[in-house]
Structures are given as structure tokens and as C-alpha cells.
A and B are shown apart, each in its own frame.
Chain A
Amino acid sequence: MIIDAHVHLYTNDSCNFYGWRPQRELVDRAYEAGIEKIAVSSLGKSHYIGLPSEEEVRIANDLVIQLMRECRQVYGYCYLNPRNSNCKDELKRCVDVGMIGIKLWIATEASSPLVFPIVEAAIKYRIVILQHCFFRNTGNWVNETSPFDIALLAQRYPEAKIIMAHLNANLPNGVDVVKMLPNVYIDTSGGYMLRTNLEMAISKIGAERILYGSDAPGRSFNVQTANVNSALICQAAKEKILSTNFLRLIHNENH
């Protein structure tokens, strides 16, 4: 079984060559690649919005809710902009319809106090937080979360379950920053997966804290799955990465 912990959704009305057509097609494409379930967030109706308004957030989350209703293969993340004042209400609306987590992107760094109430709500609802995180050699964007921000947040809230997105954008040094923090998980997406990345990540934090995530549709389900399947790691580790770890995380089971 394969579960993809990091997928995005937007509509076809501005489909360019990065795009994807009907929302349902996302599920079909995943299925064709052997992926049974996908955890989806929308960062905006027609394109990714870094600083979405309350209205833009609601529309984006509605897309996910609609897909969750249509396809039982879909888990939903609630996209939030911590700068908006209605985050708690929007989160409750999304949790009430079954979303399993929160998606935070580049509205602010994860270590910002603006994020704290959101994390406290996530702890209360016992849901995960998928936080975009890059460690660029060229310097991060303004307000873009680095592994140091994740580490600060994870230390402040040890009971929070944080998925640090983009393994490939954080190896090797970024992973070192969070390796002592057991409440931080890392997904396999981000940039290009180098041939030895997964082995290196396992050697640093173990297979139990790594989750398969493709970042489709910008990335390909097939390619990202092949990256895991071709890694020189044991089958048990692959199974953990491809599904078990995610299931344990969202069902609040300890390792």
C-alpha cells in the first residue's frame, strides 16, 4: 500500500503546463501509479497563493472538501495563513468535515508567534501539521521556513506532530537540525531526489520518521514512487515510508 502525504490540488480553469485538469484526475493519476491514498491540500483555487486572504483560503479548502466527499481515497489538509484572524474558525470548519491536518506554506516562518495558536489547535484536535521547509544554499525567501524554525516550533510544542516538508531541500544539514526532535517527521518531496538521499536520511533519523510525499502535480507520482522503490534500503523501511508511518501518525499511534 502506498499513501502520498504531500499532494496539491487546484482547478483546471487556469491550467497551464504546470497544471492538472479535473480534481478527480489527481486521484486517478495517483491510482495509476499504484498509490491508494493521497493527502491533499490546496494552496489556492487556480494557482499557489503564498499570502491568501480569508476568502482565498476558504475557497481553496472547499476544493479539498469537495474532493474528499467525491473520493474516499483522499485525506484533506486545511490550508491556513497564520496572518488571517479567522484561522481557528477555518480550521474547525475543516476538522469538522474530517480533515487530518494543517498545511502551512510561506505566509510566515514556522517559528513565528503567529503560528503558535494554530499549533495549539492542532494539538487539541490531534492532527498533523505539514509545514513547507527549505534550506537553500542561495538563501531562503522572506518568511520561508527553514529547519531552524521547525526545530524551534517542535521544541516549544513537543506534543505537536510536525511534518517537515521536502527532504530533498533539507539534506544534509537541515535534517541534522531536527534529528533529535522525535515529533518532527520529514516527507520525501522537494527538489530532485538524489540517488542516495533516502539512505542518508535514514542513517540520520531512521525510517520511522520519513513519509512518502510526491508534491504532485508539480512532480510526478511515478517518479517519486520510483525514487523510494529504487533506494538501497530494506523492504521494511520502504513499507514504513510508503504507508505505515503516515497511518500511525494520523491515527496517533506512537512508534
Chain B
Amino acid sequence: MKIIDIELFLGSCPFNPALSCDIDQVLEELSARNIFVGFVSAFEAIISCDNIGVNQNLIKQILPYSNILLPVITIDPTRTGWEETIKMFATDAVGIKLFPRYHRYDIIEPKLTECYEKLATAGKLIFISLRCFDDRFTPSSISIMPEIESEKLISLARLYPEVMFIFTGTTITEAFKLLCAELKNIYVTTSFLEGDESFEMLVSQDRYRQVLFGSYFPIFPLEAGIAKLKNQRISDIFRENIYAENILKLTKMGYLLDSSKYKR
């Protein structure tokens, strides 16, 4: 079964140095687990305020492996330089990521309107990270905002129906609330979802179409991420969609499945 992992990180982990990871480790892990393509963000972007430098470094590192790794660039729309960042890197990136809780801003601040409008025009996927680490054990040196209410995320998705929002790091409760809003532009990732039956209920009916596979490697073991769908009592169709088909449709990158360029 083809797997595309849309939540990978690279670089120095701000939560725990032991979880830092270089490009060779990422490639090795993807190969060992038969992951077809990975979307990669820079760890440094979670706490860095340098919109340009961090993304530049990420793209430079993964450029030689552009058949396997695709960059998700990060912006902090409350800081200067975000427009420049989009101009410079959006073409190369598969999506743009926001870390509102770690960069400490409210996702529906009026001053972000311009940013969302620009992102909508850019036509890129917008990843909004709800958490990168378990809040209860996040080092106290990292200051984070309180959890974002699901209602606020739903309002944002309603305001920009043309933007595809991928909410990452959602708990199972948040994922239920988000998907039950029945908005076609809301997606959640599997990285922080757990509990067998609750997961099966989450993806039941048509909701499986809005769930995307993300492992959160190297914070979590990639094998454990894959195991989330392994023995679940769900059909293979659900599994195939979550592992790869949904993101391929969303990115209109179905050609990845056929191109020999992407076969290892």
C-alpha cells in the first residue's frame, strides 16, 4: 500500500535535542517503511522568528531529494518578512505552515486577513499546527499559547472556503469537532490521534476522505504512526485514502503514483 507522510520534521528539535534528525536519517526511515513521498518542515521554524533563513535552509537541504521530499515552508504572519517568504519560496513548497500557538498569535486576528488572502491566492495548502508536542511535557523554556478552540478553526475555514486547511497535531476530540463541521476545506492528520475504536468512529461515514497520514517523525516513531491504521477495523479503501489517496487528490499530484521518477 502506498504511503505519503505529510508530517515530517528535519533539523534540531526544540523540545528534545535527542529527537533532532538530519536528512539522511529521514531518507533512511522513509525507505525502511516504504514511504513513497514525505512532506518536510523545519524544526527550527517552530520557535524561530526568521521567516526567510529557516525556509531557505530547509529547501536547500531537500532540493537534491525533490523526488521524495517536498517542503512545507513556515511563516509567522505577525512578523515582517512573511510576504517576502511567500514570494521567495511558495513556488517550491507544497504547503505553508503556521504555528500560531508557538509563534503566539490569534489565528483570527484582523491583521492576519491580508495574509490569509495572499495564501488563498497562492493556492497552497495551509497547515495549521495545533500542537507539536504534548503540552503537559513541553519544556517550560518554550512559551506556548493556550489550545485553540475548534470553533475558531471552523470559523476560519468558513471565512476562506477556497483555502484548504490541514490541521495538524489534533487530538481525537478536536478532530471530531472539526470534521463534524462538514466543511470540505477542513482536513486533519493522524499524528496525534489514538484509541482504536475512537479512530474508527472518526473515519467512519465519509470522514475518512478528510483524514491524512502524518507520522510526526522524528518526534514519534514512524512505525507507530503506520500502526495506527494497520489493524483497525476499517476497509482497505479507507486505509488507502488516508495513507495516500486523499493527499494526492488534494494536491492534484496523482502523477506521483505513476511516474517512474518517484519509484525507488
Verify that A and B bind, or say they do not.
Answer: yes
**A195 interface hit (Cβ, 8 Å):** yes
Within 8 A of A (CB), among B216-238: 217-224, 226-228, 230-232
Q: Which residues of A contact B19 (CB under 8 A)?
A: 194-196
A98 within 8 A of B: no
Known: A17-B198, A219-B195, A222-B230. Is A195-B138 also a contact (CB below 8 A)?
no
Q: Does A29 contact B (CB under 8 A)?
A: yes
Asked if A117 is an interface residue, CB under 8 A from chain B, the answer is no
Q: Per-residue CB proximity of B125-162 to A under 8 Å, as 1/0?
A: 00000000011111110000000000000000000000
**Nearest opposing residue in chain B for A29, CB measure:** B196
Interface string of B220-260 (1 = CB under 8 A from A): 11111011101110000000000000000000000000000
A195 to B221, Cβ gap below 8 A?
Answer: yes
**Does B28 touch A at the CB level, under 8 Å?**
no
Most buried by A among B220, B221, B232: B221
Main secondary structure of the interface of B (DSSP, over half): helix
Interface residues on B, range: 35 or more
CB contact under 8 A between A220 and B136, given known A19-B198, A230-B222:
no
Closest to B173 in A: A17
Say yes or no: B221 contacts A137, CB within 8 Å: no
List chain B residues, Cβ under 8 A from A195. Answer: 19, 217-221
- Taking a contact as CB atoms under 8 Å apart, the answer to whether A222 and B221 are in contact is no
**Considering the complex, which residues of chain B in the window 174-227 have a beta carbon less than 8 Å from any beta carbon of chain A?**
176, 192, 194-199, 201-202, 217-224, 226-227
CB-CB nearest in chain B for A219: B194
A137 to B144, CA, bound (A): 13
Instruction: Select A217's contact among B192, B195, B223, B227, beta carbons within 8 Å.
Output: B195
Contacts of A134 in B (CB 8 A): 136
- Establish whether residues B136 and A17, one from each chain, have CB atoms under 8 Å apart when the complex forms: no
B1, CB-defined interface residue at 8 Å? no
Taking CB atoms and an 8 Å cut-off, the chain B residues in 76-102 that contact chain A are: none
A213-253 CB contact bits vs B (8 Å, 1 = yes)?
Answer: 00011111111111101110000000000000000000000
| Interface status of B172 (Cβ within 8 A of chain A) | yes
A32 close to chain B: CB less than 8 A: yes
Give the interface of A toward B (CB within 8 A): 17-21, 29, 32-33, 134, 136-138, 168-169, 191-196, 200, 216-227, 229-231
In the A-B complex, the 10 residue pairs with the closest CB atoms = A230-B223, A226-B227, A226-B224, A222-B227, A230-B221, A196-B18, A17-B198, A226-B223, A136-B136, A191-B134
